[in-house]
Amino acid sequence: MYQILLVIAAYLIGSVPTSVWVSRSFFGIDIRDYGSGNAGATNTYRVLGSKWGTLVMVIDMLKGFLAVKLAFLLPDYAIDEFARTNFQIALGMCAVLGHIFPIWAQFRGGKGVATLFGLVLGVSPWTALGCVGVFLFVLYLTRFVSLSSILASLAFPVFILIIFNVDNHAYRIFAVVVALLVILTHQKNIGRILRGNESKVPILKYRDKRRDRRRGEL
């Protein structure tokens, strides 16, 4: 009974439509009517700028992080690490589903990458830091949040299966499923990247302008 209540709570936490509420409260718009039409941090970066995009990303990550920590409310899971990890994954995935299909926003949400990261951060902090390193490195090179998210998600099963060799079959399967899920939800972005018309986030733009000027002088 308590497990079911926590699962519902995790879904409701994930359902908080951060970008929709931010765009409506501070700009009088629905973020889903602009840019890619997605209610996530990447589209918020594109439409509202880096400050608001960062805010949305942090809150969306917290949703996944808080959801997995609900497991500690049950004494049995607080003691049994193996059972706790599996239950945390279940709670985190409910939060991700809530983000993708939020009950508070007509079930039209984002892609769940930030919430997924919050899940991983809550369950396995070192793995999360490794994925962050991949994400930031790709973002620095390309300024494509979508590509950074895809490659960071592909790095996730590499960390779990090979680098840290986690001895939990459910977690190993979960890592592979996450990578496939992120690729599946980013098919349109992959198509735009291949066509050369994927939008870049407004960071490091001054670096790019200086680089373009130097190229023009050569």
3-state SS, residue 86: helix
**Contact in structure between 96 and 112 (CB atoms under 8 Å):** yes
Alpha helices (runs of H) in the chain, residue ranges in sequence order: 2-14, 18-27, 41-48, 50-69, 75-79, 81-100, 113-123, 125-142, 145-158, 169-185, 187-195, 205-217
Please say if the pLDDT value at position 76 is more than 90: no
The pLDDT mean for the chain works out to 90
| pLDDT given at position 209 | 59
> What is the DSSP annotation of 132-150?
HHHHHHHHHHH--HHHHHH
Burial class (CB in 10 A: 0-12, 13-18, 19+), 87: buried
| pLDDT given at position 145 | 85
- pLDDT digits 0-9 by tens, 111-166: 899 999 999 999 999 999 999 999 999 998 998 888 999 999 999 999 999 999 99
> What is the DSSP annotation of 169-207?
HHHHHHHHHHHHHHHHHTHHHHHHHHHT-PPPPSSSHHH
Percent of the chain residues past pLDDT 90, beyond the cut = 67
List the chain domain ranges: 2-207
- Could you tell me the pLDDT band of residue 67, with boundaries at 50, 70 and 90? very high
